[in-house]
A and B are shown apart, each in its own frame.
Chain A
């Protein structure tokens, strides 16, 4: 978002749109990136309920991937992922590789 000057800012510094933090991309913080391996996913949705950044996308009750605009790469999802037969459905990889 472009920095606003004092003439453009809303009066009394109010924020006019609820949840506009969504427009701020925290994805640039990331040094590790989660990768979803669909064939190992049992759709337990633990990644979704534990994600601190609301960065796990779900559709029709199923995990569908990551919102890399907001994912900070903490790795909680990969840590909690039970996977299938010992194979994780989420692995953390170095960013930019």
Chain B
């Protein structure tokens, strides 16, 4: 393993020489976006890394007894405390370093789905970020509790059909808009906060490296298509993550030292949100006659968020 000063260049050819720390044979669904994200994250890191995992698809499907797909130290304790678990590991590490019992430079990452991050693990995450642990929390956001059967979460987009807010004669999917956790994390004044997408592997890996190189807590939200919950095809996870970025539903941006930077601005190639909604069965009802207003509302919400993000970038320019 190379030292941080001679880090592996971010080219696919160079990265093929690195061992893959998440093996095949895990039981994530066919075509799931999350293992692709995890593989990319682990590939980006050259130092030894310790992972804490919140309960969720990723956790249950990668450690079905008597198997584990992880080739790095990995710990799961409960649904709500991946950030607290990672904080504990990191504190232990600092103590051992101080006592001279450990010499190695190590990195700490917590993985959680949107349920384990936006809702159930929120207080643990907020606490860990405020205490300033040297860790990176990565949320793979598929926008519902997919593991237990597609129940709505606070990350579920407006209008989406879920089993706890199903489409019927009175209600057309989720009536509320989603929580913007990346901005909430940025409001914690963390060392680094960013949004990434697996289709842009280079941007994602660059962000992982930046996050781990900062002196303090870091948060990354990564869009993670779920063909079961999104009611799409098994082969379109990368396509849908690309469309999420091109429609500005999931802008790629980072916040560091109070400076907001949009990493990818589609400008006049910004696609209408319908291009991202159309391939997903969970939004099928939005295209039914009579629901034009909901579709327009969705576009309006995306445009509002995108505009305010551009303003934040403009305002924080030095």
Interface residues in A63-83 (C-beta closer than 8 Å to B): 67, 69-76, 78-80
How near does chain A come to B242, taking the closest CB pair, in angstroms? 9
Q: Contact between A49 and B24 (Cβ–Cβ < 8 Å)?
A: no
Measured CA separation A19–B14 after assembly (Å): 23
| Number of residues from A at the complex interface, CB < 8 A | 43
In whole angstroms, what is the CA distance A73 to B227 when docked?
14
Does B235 lie within 8 Å of A49, measured CB to CB?
no
When chains A and B are docked, how far (Å) is the Cα of A58 from the Cα of B14?
Answer: 12
> Are B24 and A22 in contact (CB-based, < 8 A)?
yes
* Chain B 210-249 per-residue mask, 1 if CB under 8 angstroms from chain A, else 0: 0000000000000000000000011111110000000000
Q: Verify if B306 is at the interface (C-beta below 8 Å from A).
A: no
List B contacts of A15 (CB < 8 A): 63, 65-68
Indicate with 1 or 0, residue by residue over B16-31, a CB within 8 angstroms of chain A CB atoms.
1100111111111111
Q: Which one of B23, B39, B63, B234 contacts A74 once the chains associate, using CB atoms below 8 Å?
A: B234
Q: Is the interface of A mostly helix, strand, loop or mixed?
A: loop
Query: How many pairs, one residue from A and one from B, have CB atoms within 8 Å of each other in the complex?
Result: 132
Q: How many residues of B contact A (CB 8 A)?
A: 46
Q: Is the CB of B24 within 8 A of A53?
A: yes
The answer to the question of A86 belonging to the interface, with a C-beta cut-off of 8 Å to chain B, is: no
Kindly state the separation between the CA atoms of A26 and B65 in the bound complex, as whole angstroms.
15
Residues from chain A with a CB closer than 8 A to the CB of B27 are 24, 26
Query: Assuming the A-B contacts A15-B66, A49-B201, A52-B33, are A26 and B24 also in contact, with contact meaning beta carbons closer than 8 angstroms in the complex?
Result: yes
Interface flag for B122 (CB, 8 Å):
no
Do A52 and B31 contact each other (CB < 8 Å), given the known contacts A18-B71, A45-B13, A61-B16? yes
Asked if B65 contacts A79 (CB within 8 A), the reply is no
* Residues in chain B near residue A48, CB distance under 8 A: 12, 16
Q: Does A41 contact B (CB under 8 A)?
A: no
Within 8 A of A (CB), among B179-198: 198
B69 contacts chain A at the CB level, 8 A cutoff = yes
Q: Say yes or no: B24 contacts A55, CB within 8 Å.
A: yes
Which of A21, A53, A73, A79 counts the most B-chain CB atoms under 10 A from its CB? Answer: A21
Report the minimal beta-carbon distance from B138 to chain A, rounded to whole angstroms: 16
Q: With A48-B16, A54-B20 as given contacts, are A19 and B68 in contact (CB-CB < 8 Å)?
A: yes
Cβ-based interface call for A44 (8 A) = yes
Q: Give chain B nearest CB distance to A20 CB in angstroms.
A: 5
Q: Are B23 and A19 in contact (CB under 8 A)?
A: yes
B31 and A21 contact, CB distance less than 8 A? no
Residue B36 at the chain A interface, CB threshold 8 Å = yes
Q: Is the CB of A70 within 8 A of B24?
A: yes
Q: Which of A13, A26, A51, A58 contacts B25 (CB 8 A)?
A: A26
Q: Nearest Cβ in chain A — how far from B291, in angstroms?
A: 29
Residues of the B chain whose Cβ atoms lie less than 8 Å from the Cβ of A46 = 12
What residues make up the interface of A, taking CB atoms closer than 8 Å to B? Answer: 1, 4, 9-10, 13, 15, 18-26, 29-30, 44-46, 48-55, 58, 61, 67, 69-76, 78-80, 92
A-B contact pairs, 27 of them (CB 8 A): A4-B66, A10-B66, A15-B68, A18-B68, A18-B72, A19-B21, A19-B68, A21-B24, A23-B67, A26-B24, A26-B25, A26-B27, A44-B12, A49-B12, A50-B36, A50-B237, A52-B28, A52-B35, A52-B39, A53-B28, A54-B23, A61-B14, A61-B16, A73-B234, A74-B234, A75-B31, A78-B235
Apart from A19-B68, A52-B39, list 14 A-B contacts with CB within 8 A. Answer: A15-B63, A18-B71, A18-B72, A21-B69, A24-B25, A49-B12, A49-B40, A50-B238, A52-B35, A53-B24, A69-B25, A70-B24, A76-B238, A79-B235
- The 5 tightest CB contacts between A and B, nearest first, are A70-B24, A74-B31, A75-B235, A72-B30, A21-B69
